[in-house]
């Protein structure tokens, strides 16, 4: 699947980031691709490829289920056709953001995230204290038939005390500035799937 850098939805994301620092697009990708991504996530889970996510990074990273309870696996090119299509779409978004906002984004890293029922992720920022390469966060949800009573909302803490909740409905993409938008994942009553990633600029990694 090819998305042109001039696609109106990409322009809308860039405009939202410039104006508000975040963007929500209800139908970012075709439904068949979203279903294929969800199936790939479940396949990896069934084969034991997902692992509990840690808090922190490098030598200080540890699993702390009182802070976050998701299970993840990082995505690399060439692993699955659906993943490659998603990475290609996100690269077009990277180019559009660079063209519009001059952020100097160099790459995109992402992983599948599976939250078992009851799992959550406490309020946090996506940028590490000792590494400011993560500039823009992007989350694509993969949950068909999701209902508000299922929970699992992404809650963003915006300016002036405003809270905005995003239902993790299949095909919805949320993009926000990594170092400026605190957020949390509320507990869900059913399994919750997403692709979570970050556009990064060049930087020095002490690890």
Reported as a single tens digit per residue, the pLDDT across 19-67 is: 999 999 999 999 999 999 999 999 999 999 998 875 544 444 444 556 7
CB 195 within 8 A of CB 37: yes
Four-residue CA torsion sign, 132, 97, 53, 158: positive
Q: Consult the annotation and say whether 111 binds a ligand.
A: no
107 known ligand binder: no
pLDDT band for position 200 (cuts 50, 70, 90): very high
Tokens 């696996």, located at residue:
73
Residue 7, annotated as binding a ligand: no
d(CA 21, CA 175): 8
Higher-pLDDT residue of 52 and 113 is 113
Average pLDDT, the chain: 88
pLDDT mean over 73-93: 95
CA 124/CA 185 separation, integer angstroms: 10
Supply the pLDDT for residue 66.
61
**Higher per-residue confidence, 85 vs 6:** 85
Which one is predicted more confidently, 14 or 62?
A: 14
With a CB cutoff of 8 Å and minimum separation 6, the contacts of 153 are 165, 166, 167, 168, 185, 186
- Contact 139/104 with Cβ under 8 angstroms? no
* pLDDT at residue 1, rounded to an integer: 52
105: pLDDT strictly greater than 80: yes
Residue 108: CB atoms within 10 Å: 18
Confidence of residue 127 (pLDDT cuts 50, 70, 90): confident
Choice among 72-81, 121-130, 175-184 with the minimum mean pLDDT:
121-130
- Give pLDDT, residue 64: 53
- Taken in order of first residue, the domains within the chain and their CATH numbers are 8-53+74-201 (2.60.120.620)
Assess whether pLDDT exceeds 50 at residue 80.
Answer: yes
């Amino acid at each position: 699947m090819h998305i042109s850098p001039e696609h109106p939805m990409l322009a809308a994301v860039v405009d939202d980031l410039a104006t508000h620092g975040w963007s929500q697009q209800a139908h970012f990708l075709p439904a068949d691709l979203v279903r294929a991504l969800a199936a790939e996530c479940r396949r990896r889970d069934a084969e034991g490829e997902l692992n509990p996510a840690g808090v922190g990074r490098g030598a200080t990273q540890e699993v702390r289920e009182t802070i976050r309870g998701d299970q993840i696996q990082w995505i690399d090119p060439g692993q699955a056709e659906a993943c490659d299509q998603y990475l290609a779409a996100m690269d077009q978004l990277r180019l559009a953001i660079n063209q519009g906002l001059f952020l100097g984004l160099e790459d995109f890293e992402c992983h599948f995230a599976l939250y078992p029922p009851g799992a959550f992720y406490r309020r946090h920022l996506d940028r590490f204290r000792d590494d400011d390469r993560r500039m823009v966060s992007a989350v694509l949800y993969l949950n068909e038939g999701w209902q508000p009573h299922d929970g699992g909302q992404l809650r963003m803490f915006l300016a002036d005390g405003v809270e905005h909740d995003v239902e993790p409905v299949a095909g919805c993409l949320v993009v926000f500035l990594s170092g400026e938008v605190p957020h949390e994942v509320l507990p869900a009553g059913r399994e919750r799937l997403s692709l979570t990633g970050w556009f990064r600029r060049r930087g020095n990694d002490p690890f």
